[in-house]
Amino acid sequence: MVAYYRICKRKLWFFYHGLDMEQITPTVDVIIGRVLSLKRFPREKMKEFQIDDSVIDFIKFRNQVIVHEIKKSKKFEEAHIWQIKYYIFLLRKHGIEVHQGVIHYPKSMRKIDVSYKPEDELMIKEALEEIKNVVTERTPPPAIKKSFCKKCSYYELCYI
């Protein structure tokens, strides 16, 4: 929900209220993302690690714990960074000492290292409070009318 909050509050509201359109009518991008997540990094043992209501693509345990996410495109890179930081926040809340994450963009052969800083915890707590405000509204927020909306699984809920 943290990534949805950063991308589109309307999508967040629908998702929270049980309308997971990515499961009901997945777009080509969603399907490609799932395939990438399943096929890349086949040797990783801690794949799809669930903590609370979140599923982390994979976690590496070596000298330190590192959270990894696999994404199709860097279009929503800022949301992806905050998603990783939220996963780190969750793990730390459960007593797991973690300070780093990595976002993998296999199609572009690119990765981004993400560091968790002390001030990130406050920003995540503020975002969680704002998320709570969004999802407790009686009606969804207005549609945002951005260029990426046309490829969104929620498009028909917003514009048709």
pLDDT tens string 40-96: 665 666 567 788 888 888 888 878 899 999 888 888 999 999 999 999 999 999 999
Residue 14 CA to residue 118 CA, distance in Å, equals 31
pTM of the model: 0.82
User: Could you report the per-residue pLDDT of 99-158, keeping only the tens digit for each?
Assistant: 999 999 988 889 999 999 999 999 999 999 999 999 999 999 999 889 888 888 888 888
Residue 37 · residue 53 · CB < 8 Å: no
Structural domain total, the chain:
1
Structural domain for 123, as ranges: 2-159
CATH number for the domain that contains residue 99: 3.90.320.10
